[in-house]
Structure 1
């Protein structure tokens, strides 16, 4: 009963229309048909006056819609005595608005759930060791918090407990739990598993990951797409066609009722409003894939895009170097194999802050190699590390640095894009570790999908040198490569790129300017309130470049469904108008059928919530060469 009262309060015109209809039926049944006609006609004319006032306000804002047809249809049916048809038109208008509101609410459900799940309180440890519940906005960086089973992580934090399992589906769209160990980053909005753990806040609530998503969603839901305004333009020719068909039918038949019958089926007020429902559904669909589209207009631009420009490092590549080959020096004997070489290097690199040091340590950890402590260690900036471990002198670094301190150093010929770390033990050359910033595994398939979606021109923009960028471009089939680019160079290249629209995909702060000038800027793997995510039109919350293709495909499907909904409603309405023009469709029947048309178009627009296929334009096959080194 509560839902019924709420529905009446939310849609009062629908409720009043139903009541007037029941009163009219009661009057007609008791022989008071004239009174019934008066009551229904008066109510219909009041609603027509309200619609007319709405139409005037729209015209004052420079917007022309289908209100004029609704008003003419109501007035004409009242004049010719088809008062029951006028009541059905009123029910169609108010009911169509209610259906549209319900459909839009269905499309926004996933977006609204983000707001509903926003963390509001946190359990903070006090100085005495107790626990106090505080509003999440009062959590400071460094505060130690208790995260209970199945609770939402209130702010970005690091895990202080030994291990935990979290559900990050609300952030990334991935349904599988993610295992974390001590020191791992936890993102606000993820859900703890079955065990209570301690965490330490690293970010204020206002700048945490979940609050960023809520902010982006708010921007997205408040936007209006150019496609919606484009749909409004269909109302002018549609109105003219309806009035012409009605006038011709009246002139040929000599019966003004025929004019009213035509206009009854030409009042699809929610018809062209199916477009914004489709766009809201498309944005909701993209959010399920970990892609937040800030504005509905971005979906239309994604669908129309013909050029995409990629930053290289961190976008088409992993952004961090990986060990790709280990070459131990044979002179150290059969017991000194690849694992021994990597263990020596990684142990020494514990005392280095160089970007390659982290990659070497990670490679050893991945192989299960235990790192040993040094009794003495020191880093020579930009050159290498010297350390004493288990009584052995270890030198790790550039070839010239190692050669000055050891004998027998053999320089290795490297492929483009590779870097090498040289190693010496007790004054003798011990081997070489080769690293490379590897191309993302999903990159080739992503570009293939983009080309099938209509992308005709792919550009690679990077600050790296040509010899580093070219191998990546060749593996991906990219011919247009611009190396050693400064941020301003990228801006000029994207501005001049053709054909348009142009998508730019980047991940760093230095990409913020070019993301802002592109027709569609996509920030990849955005974590926190970064300059890149602020400048971009689309923010991908997970570190997965394939979501770029997801976004483009969702854009295609959304625009296709929006246009399909517009034309479907127009086509059915025109067919019904022609049928009515010949006198085969009584006004009351036509009014009921028009309600069905509106329902069909709205339901069709909601299909944008569902996954679908993208039509392949052409297929491109790319092969990735395999190196000969054994890792």
Structure 2
């Protein structure tokens, strides 16, 4: 426990923990960070010297006055908390100090003070251990970049000064500072900080490289495609900083346990005094009734769970989200880019009034101004066929519907059948086989044809939904803007029976809010998913390909393009909550056992104070189990 009773929130990444350098703090730093610990040790040494000199009475006075001074200091914060409606176990701590001093157990009073003040150091140690993976992401963020001029000479500049198009040098074992394209012939990167994948990844010239990737053994050249604030690693850093800003409901529940526990301890101590007639019995019971786990263990477990998730490439924005995801009963999924791979291919061009390649060229020229994954696939196919795309300053994306653009004398519409039909005559539905999608094209007010696309199912999709069912997610839903036939084909493949197709963003929000089995988790990746991700009890964004809007609206961002991480996030959440509650009850149960033994006169005050610290340590070590993956059920 921390002597400063105002520190009732859980440890955070910005708290006064151990130095970020990872080395041991200096003596001066330790004294500044834990002044009451230093004073308690000094008081203890003084008492020991006096006892060795045969001066027991002065030793008792020194210990008693110091312990009571700490009790008064603790009482100030305690009263302030009570006035604000926050009742904690500080009452037990203060009462135990006063009681031990009153019955002459001054050595025990010093140990209690040391245990209380040492709780701050214990909390910092546990929190720093639990947040190791999160803080490592912050520590490895690059501060400078090496910009190359036309002569190939490098100049070190702040990373914030990097502009799009700058050519940068990345030396061996350096972190890529901003999102970029690889200019060198090939390179190896460690992307484990971004994706959780431990194996190195090889990229070739022209491949996109995400900021935060660790360069391999050779120096490389890259060309910046985004400024620092728009790069992926900066988004991760922002998410990590947000991750420790909230308290989980189970942590607040631990605060509520403190009230009945305090009442029980005081009643038992009073009863032991009444039965025995010995006031020392009252002090002995209270000495073992000051469990730190109620304040520390649960927050440490949640920080450990978030750190464990980060190691797997899952950024959870807060402890409350981790608690929420543990109680999810319904999982809703977008289709394109979520259940499917998000890499559609063009299977057929069905032209009505234009040559097929002319239809593809006009459609791709318009689709280059859209953020939809189908648009990217159409543009890629056109470029692969050697077509030269037109550009324009007059293009508009109509979210979830399509895109309109004006090229010279041609007005082009590309998107859903209903969207094109609003502005083009003679639009006819096209026949599709299972799993196909149709992109409709209108030119100058007339229906021009369709592009037939196919987006294959993710190989891990069916296994992910099966894993969610074993984790207690009893209902799965697909919410998509695509045609019903295509949606049902994908739903049948993964085992989703509740399928809602042809939806607009507002329809998805309405349906998520109306789902009966709460809590509801929504998984999506596109900019059109941002509203429903925000509306769901837990929003999960596939951040590896998803838009910034989707990632900002979500509660959880998956940095690796792997749907199986959704089940991993639920698994981490459930295990973390279980460990947090276990840790709380381990502390309570062991303390209650010690209290009954002390009430029977079997534990002297000094031994009780030392035993209570062992209880604290056991509960906190159990909370740190949230850092480990645990064993997956078959």
- TM-score, normalized by length of structure 2? 0.81
Q: Is the 8 A contact 1:70 1:269 kept in 2?
A: no
| Secondary structure of 1:68 counterpart | helix
Choose from 491, 494, 503 the match for 1:476. Answer: 494
1:140 is aligned to 2:163: yes
Choose from 254, 268, 271 the match for 1:248. Answer: 271
1:504 is aligned to 2:522: yes
| Secondary structure of 1:124 counterpart | strand
Cα displacement string for residues 51-103 of structure 1 (whole angstroms, at most 9, x for unaligned residues): 11121122233211110000000001100111111111111111222111111
Structure label with greater radius of gyration: 1
Task: Note the 1:560-571 alignment, pairs <5 A.
Answer: 560-571=578-589
Q: What is the CA–CA distance in structure 2 between the aligned matches of 1:42 and 1:93, rounded to whole Å?
A: 17
1:161 offset after TM fit, Å? 2.0
Choose from 116, 128, 131 the match for 1:108. Answer: 131
Q: What is the CA–CA distance in structure 2 between the aligned matches of 1:130 and 1:26, rounded to whole Å?
A: 67
1:415 offset after TM fit, Å? 3.1
1:434 offset after TM fit, Å? 8.4
1:191 offset after TM fit, Å? 1.3
Alpha carbons of 1:147 and 1:225: their partners in 2 closer, same or farther (altered >3 Å)? same
Q: What is the CA–CA distance in structure 2 between the aligned matches of 1:420 and 1:312, rounded to whole Å?
A: 15
Alpha carbons of 1:34 and 1:7: their partners in 2 closer, same or farther (altered >3 Å)? same
Alpha carbons of 1:153 and 1:2: their partners in 2 closer, same or farther (altered >3 Å)? closer
Name 2:140's counterpart in structure 1: 117
Q: What is the CA–CA distance in structure 1 between the aligned matches of 2:199 and 2:470, rounded to whole Å?
A: 29
Name 2:342's counterpart in structure 1: 319
Q: What is the CA–CA distance in structure 1 between the aligned matches of 2:62 and 2:155, rounded to whole Å?
A: 64
Cα displacement string for residues 537-564 of structure 1 (whole angstroms, at most 9, x for unaligned residues): 1111111111111110000011001000
Choose from 240, 245, 268 the match for 2:291. Answer: 268
Q: What is the CA–CA distance in structure 2 between the aligned matches of 1:456 and 1:303, rounded to whole Å?
A: 13
Q: What is the CA–CA distance in structure 1 between the aligned matches of 2:389 and 2:576, rounded to whole Å?
A: 59
Cα displacement string for residues 256-283 of structure 1 (whole angstroms, at most 9, x for unaligned residues): 1111111010011354321111111111
Q: Is the 8 A contact 1:453 1:615 kept in 2?
A: no
1:435 offset after TM fit, Å? 5.6
1:16 offset after TM fit, Å? 1.9
Cα displacement string for residues 207-257 of structure 1 (whole angstroms, at most 9, x for unaligned residues): 111111110000002222222111100000000110111111111111111
Cα displacement string for residues 547-595 of structure 1 (whole angstroms, at most 9, x for unaligned residues): 1111100000110010000000000000110111111111111111001
1:361 offset after TM fit, Å? 10
1:11 offset after TM fit, Å? 1.8
Name 2:12's counterpart in structure 1: none
Q: What is the CA–CA distance in structure 2 between the aligned matches of 1:241 and 1:545, rounded to whole Å?
A: 48
Name 1:517's counterpart in structure 2: 535
Alpha carbons of 1:74 and 1:116: their partners in 2 closer, same or farther (altered >3 Å)? same
1:287 offset after TM fit, Å? 0.3
Choose from 546, 559, 566 the match for 1:541. Answer: 559
Choose from 227, 232, 238 the match for 1:209. Answer: 232
Task: Note the 1:408-423 alignment, pairs <5 A.
Answer: 415-418=433-436
Runs of 5+ consecutive residues of structure 2 not aligned to the other structure: 1-23, 349-355, 368-372, 391-401, 403-429, 440-450
Alpha carbons of 1:12 and 1:527: their partners in 2 closer, same or farther (altered >3 Å)? farther
Q: Is the 8 A contact 2:526 2:547 kept in 1?
A: no
1:525 offset after TM fit, Å? 2.8
1:311 offset after TM fit, Å? 0.5
Cα displacement string for residues 293-316 of structure 1 (whole angstroms, at most 9, x for unaligned residues): 011100000001111111111001
Structure 1 range deviating more: 104-113 or 63-72: 104-113
Choose from 511, 519, 526 the match for 1:493. Answer: 511
Choose from 558, 568, 571 the match for 1:553. Answer: 571
Name 1:47's counterpart in structure 2: 70
Task: Note the 1:42-121 alignment, pairs <5 A.
Answer: 42-121=65-144
Task: Note the 1:203-242 alignment, pairs <5 A.
Answer: 203-242=226-265
Name 2:177's counterpart in structure 1: 154
Q: What is the CA–CA distance in structure 2 between the aligned matches of 1:303 and 1:360, rounded to whole Å?
A: 40
Task: Note the 1:210-609 alignment, pairs <5 A.
Answer: 210-322=233-345, 353=364, 415-418=433-436, 436-526=454-544, 530-609=548-627
Q: Is the 8 A contact 2:521 2:540 kept in 1?
A: yes
Name 2:7's counterpart in structure 1: none
- TM-score, normalized by length of structure 1? 0.82
Q: Is the 8 A contact 2:309 2:315 kept in 1?
A: yes
Q: Is the 8 A contact 2:182 2:221 kept in 1?
A: yes
Q: Is the 8 A contact 1:246 1:581 kept in 2?
A: yes
